[in-house]
Every structure is written in C-alpha cells, then in structure tokens.
Chain A
C-alpha cells in the first residue's frame, strides 16, 4: 500500500496540536514566576527550576490530602477486585436463571449520571453521620468501580478454555478448588488491568470528594489541585501546573501500561474522558 507523504505531514501537525496542552503544562511547571507572567510566552523555560514543585508539595494540605487519596484509592481497588472476582467467576463459568438480567443491570448502572447517585448518597450519609469519612468515599467509588471490575474480569474468565476446568475436575478437584487454584491464577492479567482501571476512576474523582468531605484536611488530591485556583488573590499557575504534573504522572504511566486492554475492554464504558 502506498504511503503518501501528505499523511505523515498531517499526522505531524495533528501531534503538535494535540500534545500542546500537555507540553504547556510541563513547560509552565518548570518556569520561575517571572517567566510565567510575560507578555510573549516562552516556549521553553529559559531558567528551568523545581521551585513550583517545591511550592506544591510543601502546601499545607498536600500530605494529608495525599494520604487520604492513597487510603481511599487502595481500599477501593482491593474491594473491587476481591468482591468483583467472585461475581465475575459466577457470571462467566456458570449458567443459572437471572444471569443475563444481572449482566444487564451491571452494564446499566455504569451509565447513570453522576448526580443520580451523588444526591441520594449525600442525603443518606448525612443521615448516618458519615459525611467526611473515608467510608462514604469508598462506598461511592465502589458504585462506579465494582460493576466495571466485574465486567472486565468476566471478559478474562470467558476466555479461559473449558478443557482446563474439565481436566482439573477429572483429577478430582471440587468447584471451589478449581476456582481458587485453577481459574483465579489464570485471570492474573485481568486483575492487573482491573486494578488500574479502578485506581484511575478513584484517583481522578473530584466531584464526590469535593461534595462529601467538606473540610480541607479531608479532601483528596483532585480537590487539592483545584484549590490553587483563587480568583481573589490570583491563581499560582506555576504551582498548579507542577501539581497537575505530579497528580497526572501515575495515571499516565498506568495508562501506557494497559493501553493494550484499553481499546478492547473499553467498549464497556470505562475510563471517561
């Protein structure tokens, strides 16, 4: 097939335009304040500095908010996997009445608008005095991550050939033994992909944390990121861009990690843009 040069030129132009916002974030993160606020922008930092990063991580709430994020995200990921893997196994290796209905519900709940769950959860957690607790955030995140985890892991289970199961059965293994010793180890890659998806969903959430936590020391990193914006005293864009780099880095690394599964597993409505 001929590869006309024009296509390459178009691709180059597209790449330049599309990567620019990311480039500008990184470029701004390394500029001293005097270079950020210039009448003609510098396309590279003339005097690169780590000052903005230092400013960002020495912010009053950075460490507490980081800790909140890490705790809430890890518990969410672990629960999504542990609770999800059993359900995924049930929905892929067994046939029973109501299976299709459950799968349809699992798909449907992922399509709910954010506020549809946010409002009743807020009211219920308020009644139960749970607003501002990790517990409230984790439950809210599970509403998103669990159905999705079940769906993705189920895809991995379905791909395991029946013969493996039958061979184990001939060797006298029972249903649970087969699940734990044969099937679970085989969906290892699925567990990794699912963990990353769940991590990204919980790590990126701004709305639930902002609405439920109601206190600077209880916020998570996305809310901390937005807190640099200050219409009154002026936003510290250098600090905010450095903070954005720090915050986005793990997500980008993980994304590159699972890019193979991304397109395949994405049609179930996964990581939202």
Chain B
C-alpha cells in the first residue's frame, strides 16, 4: 500500500482549470504536497514500521535501550500456535456477528417505523437517536458501568422487580463472561442503531411510493410490500451500512476496555483488547505488531469490498 505523490501530468480533459496547450499544470501537485507529507508521516510510514517491527523481537527492553533484532517469522509462528490468539479471533468473529446482527435488525425496524409515525414522534425519535449517537463512547461506557453497577445499579434493581431471576441486586456484570458480553452488546447496539436507522431511513424515503401503492392494490400485505419493494430499493444502502458496521464492530475497543477490561480473565478479550494488552501491558511490541498486521489483513478484504461498493453507488472518483 504505497502511494506516489502524483506526477503533475494532466490529461487535457475539457474544462479543467489549466492553461490550454501549455506544459502540464502543476497546481494539483502543489495543492497535494502538504497533505501528502502529513499522510505519509502519520499513516504510511507507521504502517511500514508496523510490518517491520512484526519481524523483530521489539519488547520492553527495546523501549529503553533501542536494541532489537530481526527474528524473521518467529512472532507469526508463535502467534499461530498460541491458543490465546485463536480464541481471541474466534471471540471477535462471533461477537462482531452478534453486534452487527443486533444493530442491523433493530436499525432496519426503527428506520421503517420512522416512515409510519406521526410528525411529532418522527421528530422525537430522531432527536433521541441523535442523543444516543452523539454520546462520546468513553462517557457511554462509564454510564454503562453505573447502570450495571452491582448493588446500586438501576438494571439490577429493575431485574429484581421482575422477580424472575431471583434477587439480582448484587449481580456482577463485569465478573461473568456471559453477562459482560450481554452488557457490552447492549452498549454497542445502543450506540450503533442511530447511524443505521437514520442512514436507512434517508434511503427509505427515496423509495418511489407508486411501487408500494401498486403492490398494495394487487393485495400484497404490508410485510410483503416491505420485503419485495422496499428492501429491493434499500439493498445498496444495506450492504454499505453492513460492511461499515462489521468494520467498526470488529475494531471495538473502548467499550470493552472500560466495561470489563477484557475480563474476567481474558474471556472478553477480542482482538483489539488482546493486541492492546500484548503491546501496552506486556510491552511485547513485536508480538502486538504481528497481531495488528494479521487483523489488518483480515479487514482488508472487507475494506476493498466497501470501497468498491462506494464507487459503484455513484461516488464519482
């Protein structure tokens, strides 16, 4: 993934702002230089360095002495033979699937709901969605800690009132894998639904009503109209939003870190948390870099798919 700063050659396509019939216009080159320098410095160079350190034994000692040596594929072979890594990968895949499925289903339902409510509720729901979306995830994670706090948390109190689960007052959500996953899943879904619902709703409003009317006249049920007509129009947007959700949820870090710290043990250590712990708690930089490289490579396919779809959906590059 390297990029050359563009050579300022310019095809003489019509109304591009270049003096006609003279040497190539160098303006875009000058315009791009500052951003090119910054992006090279803060993105491309670090990526190259990441790959490089993943082939070395860069660790805590190195941070002080600056000494490290080339170890070839050692970091990768030790990773691929480590149970912790595979468990973490499996957790990430399953949890991502659960988060994406949850937020997509609710998001689609809310998007559709928005097309069928009174103006007042449409407005109110939009404001509520934006509130949930706007909360910085550090703040929402800490609010979650308080909602699920064992002893005085309002969630435990509410569950205790239902009287189905017995006395849940001191239920420790962060101390049990299944409970921790549930709470984090709720948090992620709560914050992810607004983007999905509002984006889909914007697309859903573009569906030509004639099609839906025609289907209703033919006696189709509301559900059939949605499934056959609306979903057909929504497909491109759905695909884009799903890919983005997968990428974001796969990379979730703050919420897990602040709610359960990846625990109890390492039962909620998804790849992000596992990488962070390796690189910044154990300071095995080389090992952490290797996990990051693998994570990035796994994401590249999705990213390519996303960009291809973005280009197709009318983004003219």
B220 CB within 8 Å of chain A: no
Contacts of A146 in B (CB 8 A): 35, 38-39, 42
Q: Is the CB of B6 within 8 A of A99?
A: yes
Q: Which B residues lie within 8 Å of A175 (CB)?
A: 17-18, 25, 27
Residue interface mask B190-218, A partner, CB < 8 A = 1: 11111100110010000001000000000
Tell which of B70-78, B81-89, B227-235, B247-255 binds the partner: B247-255
Q: Contact flags (1/0) for A34-49 with B, using CB distance below 8 Å?
A: 0011111100000000
Given the known interface contacts A94-B16, A108-B303, A175-B25, the answer about A267 and B310 at a Cβ–Cβ threshold of 8 Å is yes
For residue B129, which residues in chain A have a CB less than 8 angstroms away from its CB? Answer: 18
Size bracket, chain A contacts: 35 or more
* Chain B positions within 8 Å of A97 at CB level: 6-7, 9-11
Interface string of A185-214 (1 = CB under 8 A from B): 000000000000000100110110001000
Instruction: Tell me whether A14 and B125 are in contact (CB under 8 A).
Output: yes
CB of A54 within 8 Å of the partner chain: no
Is B134 an interface residue when CB atoms closer than 8 A count as contact? yes
Count A/B pairs, Cβ under 8 Å.
Answer: 336
Interface residues of B in 26-63 (CB under 8 A from A): 27-32, 34-36, 38-39, 41-43, 45-47, 49-50, 53, 58, 62-63
User: In the complex the two chains form, what is the Cα distance from A124 to B13 in whole Å?
Assistant: 43
**Closest B residue to A204 using CB positions:** B136
- Given A15-B124, A117-B43, A229-B145, answer yes or no on A7-B276 (Cβ-Cβ < 8 Å): no
CB distance from B252 to the nearest CB of A (A): 9
Determine whether B159 belongs to the interface, using a CB cutoff of 8 Å to chain A. Answer: no
Which chain B residues have a beta carbon within 8 Å of chain A's beta carbons?
1, 3-4, 6-11, 13, 15-18, 25, 27-32, 34-36, 38-39, 41-43, 45-47, 49-50, 53, 58, 62-63, 66, 110, 113-114, 116-118, 121-122, 124-126, 128-140, 142-147, 149, 151-152, 154, 157, 169, 188, 190-195, 198-199, 202, 209, 240, 244, 247-248, 250-251, 253-254, 257-258, 271-272, 275-276, 279-280, 285, 288-289, 291-293, 295-296, 299, 302-303, 306-307, 310, 313, 316-317
Known: A25-B143, A25-B146. 18 other contacts (CB 8 A): A24-B146, A83-B38, A93-B17, A95-B10, A98-B4, A98-B7, A100-B317, A108-B307, A111-B302, A113-B250, A116-B50, A121-B46, A147-B43, A165-B17, A204-B137, A204-B138, A237-B152, A264-B202
What are 29 sample pairs from A and B whose C-beta atoms fall under 8 A apart?
Answer: A1-B209, A15-B128, A21-B144, A22-B132, A25-B146, A83-B34, A86-B31, A96-B7, A96-B8, A101-B3, A102-B6, A107-B310, A115-B279, A119-B289, A120-B49, A120-B53, A142-B42, A147-B39, A176-B27, A206-B138, A207-B254, A207-B276, A229-B142, A237-B146, A251-B136, A252-B131, A262-B130, A263-B202, A269-B247
